[in-house]
């Protein structure tokens, strides 16, 4: 799975289009990142920028944004309605896909350190990246805003996490930058079949993390000894959820409007269900919902799986079907269109299937049969495994929901779900294998006219070849599990689909051996290259490949024998 991180820097300029364009150009010129949104505000004098990519390119682009903003924005002349600390006020990193929060914390600290060292800008870490508990809350870190920095810098209490602890002409111009790792925030509204704001507000109090004011038996709000209102959790309280009730005349209905500030904690479908229960308590209905802005694909997939399981159906279906299930189940087209290509962050960034996966069968086979060396056997091996995984999922879907197989329904649905994930992994490897081969060819074209150039070229060829070896190895390493799924599905799945499970075994076996061949031929090419950077790579790779292939061969032999015996016995 490709690792994806979102970065949302906010710069202290929302009026000068030339400055905003110059800053965003730094993102557009960084290979491997996709600029998703630029949202300037004149009153706030602030622009929210959103981009996405792999961790490395995102870190590079984020640093360039901070550097360019510091160059072009002078905080001594800045004013605006929004709280701000510096030329780049905040720079949060958000895990989207294949990345943990801990990895984003490390990324935030690495970028923060670089900003402090190379740009000489004070950096404060907040949210999950904070190194001091009291700095977790951005409001605390930014207290007093830019104007307070002159008195705060130079003190031990407000010593930045990185960068200078001083006030001078340079820091007066740049201000401080606040860098964070945080969860993905989704703005999400649930629609009600009423125009009564009070009903929406009561549901909001039911679900919001902060809870509602405690009241005594006479209905009066209860306060503590310091005069602060005591809050108690509502019956459907959701962590990481802020909520209010309002009426939208344009929609002619009330809504429960929510900020889900970390969808790793609370996802939209969970908020939808909590609102539905709160509405039922008050005799109203949820008619649908509205997503404001973008959402990660994973959150939509989680919703689709939840609603399929709730209906007793198999969640091991293709991603597009899961997403459509989520859209329909949450009524995301209730008050307007919902196009996954525009609303899902990975799709909007164009991070969908690769060029080979997007081909028709005819186009792929025609390309395969041409004089181009790629795609080749490595991509075909990955495709064979993808087809095997698809067959396993198919048998699972043809088994789930049948009374005859009720005793194994949960196991079958779990296997189908896992098979779909394997299918997507192998499909991604199909394009990755060809891309890795093309990088090897590109490294051979590097200059080698001088000894220094020749040495650099050899190292580049070796690294590209190692990467080209890792792709088929990853395919091979996953295939013993695929074999186990296919074998188990043949044993307990729908007997009318036994032949399909058998073909899955055959395709997985072919894919495994094909991937093994590609590992070997790449290791052979690697043998004549400089191995100094990873001296143990070849031996470790060969051992891992042999072990995985042996496991696949053993599983395939026994599974093929059992399946053939079952099929032949039915004719006796």
Catalytically annotated residue among 299, 433, 487, 500: 433
Active site residue 453: no
Chain centre distance of CA 56? 15
For CA atoms 149, 58, 298, 334, the dihedral sign is: positive
Cβ contact 94:5 at 8 Å: yes
d(CA 2, CA 378): 19
Beta strands in 249-323 (DSSP E): 253-260, 286-292
Active site residue 281: no
d(CA 443, CA 457): 7
**186-192 and 253-260: which strand pairing?**
antiparallel
- Tell me whether the omega of the peptide bond preceding residue 375 falls within 30 degrees of 0, making it cis: yes
b (16+ CB within 10 A) / e for 16-54: eeebbeebbebbeebeebbbbeeebeeebbbbbbbbbbb
d(CA 175, CA 377): 55
d(CA 480, CA 412): 18
Tokens 């960084």 correspond to 30
Burial grade of 260 (CB within 10 A; 0-12, 13-18, 19 or more): buried
Which 3 state secondary structure label does DSSP give 245?
strand
d(CA 107, CA 93): 8
Q: How far apart are the first and last CA of the chain?
A: 46
Record the tokens describing residue 569, joined without a space.
């016995």
**10-11 and 88-97: which strand pairing?**
antiparallel
Backbone angles phi, psi at 155, to 5 degrees: -100, 155
d(CA 407, CA 404): 8
Tokens 């031929």 correspond to 521
Cβ contact 356:379 at 8 Å: yes
Catalytically annotated residue among 16, 74, 78, 82: 82
Active site residues per annotation: 82, 433
């Amino acid at each position: 799975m490709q690792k994806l991180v979102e970065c949302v820097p906010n710069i202290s300029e929302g009026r000068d289009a030339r400055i905003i364009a110059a800053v965003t150009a730094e993102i557009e010129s960084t290979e491997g990142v996709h600029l998703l949104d630029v949202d300037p505000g004149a009153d706030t004098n602030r622009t929210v920028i959103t981009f996405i990519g792999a961790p490395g390119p995102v870190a590079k682009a984020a640093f360039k944004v901070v550097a360019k903003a510091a160059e072009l924005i002078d905080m001594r002349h800045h004013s605006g309605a929004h709280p701000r600390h510096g030329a780049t006020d905040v720079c949060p990193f958000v895990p989207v896909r294949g990345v943990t929060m801990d990895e984003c914390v490390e990324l935030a600290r690495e970028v923060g350190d670089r900003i402090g060292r190379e740009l000489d800008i004070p950096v404060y870490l907040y949210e999950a990246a904070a190194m001091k508990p009291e700095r977790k809350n951005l409001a605390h870190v930014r207290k007093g805003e830019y104007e307070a920095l002159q008195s705060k810098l130079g003190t031990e209490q407000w010593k930045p996490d990185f960068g200078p602890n001083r006030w001078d002409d340079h820091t007066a111009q740049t201000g401080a930058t606040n860098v964070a790792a945080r969860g993905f925030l989704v703005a999400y509204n649930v629609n009600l079949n009423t125009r009564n704001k009070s009903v929406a507000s009561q549901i909001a109090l039911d679900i919001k993390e902060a809870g509602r004011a405690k009241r005594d038996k006479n209905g009066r709000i209860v306060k503590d000894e310091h005069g602060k209102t005591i809050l108690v959790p509502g019956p459907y309280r959701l962590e990481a959820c802020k909520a209010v009730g309002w009426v939208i005349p344009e929609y002619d209905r009330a809504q429960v409007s929510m900020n889900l500030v970390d969808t790793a904690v609370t996802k939209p479908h969970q908020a939808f269900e909590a609102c539905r229960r709160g509405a039922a308590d008050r005799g109203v209905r949820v008619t649908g919902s509205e997503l404001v802005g973008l959402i990660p694909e994973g959150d939509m997939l989680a919703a689709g799986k939840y609603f399929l399981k709730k209906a007793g159906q198999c969640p091991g279906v293709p991603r597009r079907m899961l997403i459509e299930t989520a859209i329909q189940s949450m009524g995301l087209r209730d008050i307007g269109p919902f196009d996954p290509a525009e609303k899902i962050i990975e799709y909007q960034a164009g991070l969908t299937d690769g060029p080979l996966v997007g081909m028709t069968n005819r186009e792929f086979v025609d390309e395969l049969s041409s004089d181009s060396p790629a795609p080749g056997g490595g991509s075909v091996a990955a495709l064979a495994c993808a087809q095997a995984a698809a067959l396993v999922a198919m048998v699972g879907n043809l088994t789930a929901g049948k009374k005859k197989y009720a005793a194994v329904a949960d196991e079958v649905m779990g296997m189908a779900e896992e098979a779909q994930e394997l299918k997507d992994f192998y499909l991604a490897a199909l394009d990755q294998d060809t891309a890795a081969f093309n990088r090897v060819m590109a490294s051979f074209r590097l200059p080698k006219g001088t000894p220094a150039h020749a040495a650099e070229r050899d190292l580049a060829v070796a690294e590209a070849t190692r990467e080209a070896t890792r792709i088929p190895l990853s395919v091979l390493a996953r295939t013993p599990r695929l074999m186990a799924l296919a074998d188990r599905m043949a044993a307990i799945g729908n007997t009318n689909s036994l032949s399909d499970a058998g073909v899955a075994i055959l395709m997985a076996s072919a894919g495994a051996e094909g991937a093994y061949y590609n590992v070997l031929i790449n290791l052979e090419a690697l043998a004549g290259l400089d191995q100094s950077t990873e001296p143990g790579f070849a031996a470790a790779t060969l051992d891992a490949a042999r072990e995985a292939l042996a496991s696949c061969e053993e599983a395939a032999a026994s599974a093929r024998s059992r399946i053939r015996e079952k099929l032949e016995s039915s004719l006796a």
